[in-house]
Amino acid sequence: MSLIRQIWLLMFGTVLLAFLGSVTVAVESGRNYLETQLQLKNSDNATSLALALSQQKGDQELMDLMMSAQFDTGFYRRVRLVGADGKVKFVREATVGPAKAPAWFADVVPIESRPGLAQVSDGWRALGQVEVESQSAFAVDELWRSSVRSALALAVVGLIAGALGTLVVRRIRKPIDSTVGQAQALVKGEFVTVEAPNVPELQRLTLAMNTMVERLRVAFQTQAAQLDALHRQANCDTLTGLSNRAHFLGQLGAALQREDGTADGGLVLLRVLDLAGINRTLGHAAADRMITTIAQALRPYTERVEGCFLGRLNGSDFALCLPVPNVARETAQALADALRLVLPSIGAGASVAVGAVELRRDMTLAEVMGAADGALARAESVGAFAVELASEASPAIALLGEGAWRQRIREALVHDRVRLVSFPVVDSRMQTIHLECPLRMQLEAGGTFEAAARWLPLAVRSRLTVDVDERALALALMDATRDGQSRCVNLSPSSLTDSSFAPRLRALLWAAPRAARLIWLEVAETAAVDHFHLLQELSRQLRPIGVRIGLEHAGARLGQIPRLFEAGLDYVKLDASIVRDIGTDENRATFVRGTVTLLHGLSLQVFAEGVSDELDLQRLWECGVDGATGPHISAKL
């Protein structure tokens, strides 16, 4: 066995023994502490209860009532009163509560809850003895949590010790590894020079290797410069130096088909929003500077990740292929966050949208690009610096182009293959305020009715959102006329930019004035940020008819809305990401409470979206929201 291996085994054995011993000591100490605390708690509770019982002058009914109250308000396994004659006069018992800790842990490290005893008397007359025994499940849970924390902390210490050991071992074998690594780098075409070690036997060899490497470096640099010039001329974009569309798609197709290619990976598409408008307003020089800035943000990925490649697909689109699975969304979000900090300095309106898709070996190039394009379309519909990950889609749908999507959406509208679904928004008394009614669309005759997330981004790309929103409002008016129930319709932010949108909605509403008073219309928070004046104009035209206007998915960017009090809104729906886990997160509850107070100060109603838990719902009522909707609400009704 080599010396290096013996050192590694010695270090591993030492760290392992220290870890096991420390965990054992920590668990045993914790158990003893918790048993002591349980015993003290039982004794104190028994004493206080006995004192209270002694003041009841021997009235058995009052004593029974007091012990029942004590039992019901505490976490007890048993409360018992034994009379002076030895007979049990009162007893309340509960089954052992289930511990959240694993069963094997409770068996290996049991915690005993010793009952507390105290005498009950009426003056000098002894009435009996009270016995109080607490549940031990919470103590087992606490011991389990503390044990896990201790184990994790010791594991971190062990990892640090292992890291320090690694540094020591590397220091020992560094001279030999440097020489071997230099030779291996040369085989790969990498010209690496290393510092000559202090060991005389290896110093001469290192100097000779460095000289040879330097000579080969010069020769290869000359050839590489010539080949690089040819490569850029044939395969690269002239402005950024990235691969052009043909070259990138060729690389991607090869990566998907090669036998020795990566099994899974990711593809990120990035699009400059309104590049033509930026050219008009900021000039070509600023637009080119923005394009090169994006390229510079992408290049480090190819330098840090082996097998990663990128390209510029057209004037506004960039693509990045990752050879690692399950990092596409993370990479896309990191890019969006980095560019959010840089691009605004170039000029107003400089922004991007990012779409991502996870690659599988069984996917074709057309399926990959189709899915990625769909994700990018959804990101565009959300707004600047949005990130979307492609959902799992059937190959047939993934292969649809923009023209095919437009045709299918138009056919669904023409042949009335659309319908509204209803989700209740209720107040604290569980009375329905209105029905939230998103539109579902049957893209293929006889097929399923698809949610908006499936087709809306492509409707935005096809400029069909005005027709879609108009049809949704018409269906809501029909249903409201039939049953007299208030209904809420979601409007696409892109519809606001169409000058005919507000007049078309107004004509529909004027045709059914009674039902119009039952209609609630809402747009995403991003619409108020990006198109404030258009939203204000929509409110000015529709609110006199009796329609209520509001924001959905709100909370994250409320502070960015200019003059919120002038927007002409009636209500705001807080996004599910804002209210989730509010029941257990005090910081989140404080934020929601402050937001509700602010919005109520502007005479706006506040509703909560996506409520999925009873604890969250109760905390929301405490925070002052006027209504709530979500899976939990639908399940309760």
Q: Which amino acid is at 119?
A: Q
Dist CA 243 CA 237 (whole Å): 6
**Does residue 311 sit in helix, strand or coil?**
strand
SS3 letters across 357-391:
EEEECCCCHHHHHHHHHHHHHHHHHHCCCCEEECC
- Residue 463: phi, psi to the nearest 5? 60, 45
Dist CA 254 CA 288 (whole Å): 31
Q: At what angle do helices 200-235 and 137-187 cross, to 10 degrees?
A: 90
Given this model, what pLDDT does residue 226 score? 47
- Angle (nearest 5°) at CA 262 between 258 and 265: 125
Give alpha helix (H) positions in 55-122: 60-73, 103-108
DSSP string over 513-565 = HHHHTTEEEEEEHHHHHH-HHHHHHHHHHHGGGT-EEEEEEESSSGGGSTTGG
Q: Is 167 exposed, middle or buried (0-12, 13-18, 19+ CB in 10 A)?
A: exposed
- The strand pair at 387-389 and 418-420 is best described as unpaired
Stretch(es) of the chain classified as CATH 3.20.20.450: 403-569
Which runs of E-coded beta strand occur in 94-163? 116-122, 125-134
Q: What CA–CA distances, in Å, run from 351 to 92, 298, 340, 356?
A: 67, 15, 7, 17
What lies within 8 Å, CB to CB, of 48 at 6+ separation is none
Stretch(es) of the chain classified as CATH 3.30.450: 3-156
Contact 316, 263 (CB under 8 A): no
pTM of the model: 0.46
Contact 624, 593 (CB under 8 A): yes
Could you tell me which of 76, 173, 174 has the C-alpha nearest to residue 131?
76
- The two structure tokens encoding residue 599: 């919005």
What class is the 3-156 domain? alpha beta
Q: How many CB atoms lie within 10 A of CB 577?
A: 12
Of the options 1.20.1250.20, 3.90.1560.10, 3.30.70.270, 3.10.310.10, the CATH number for the domain spanning 243-399: 3.30.70.270
Kindly give the parts of the chain with pLDDT less than 50. Answer: 189, 220, 223-224, 226-228, 230-231, 259-260, 392-399
Stretch(es) of the chain classified as CATH 3.30.70.270: 243-399
Architecture per CATH, 403-569: Alpha-Beta Barrel (3.20)
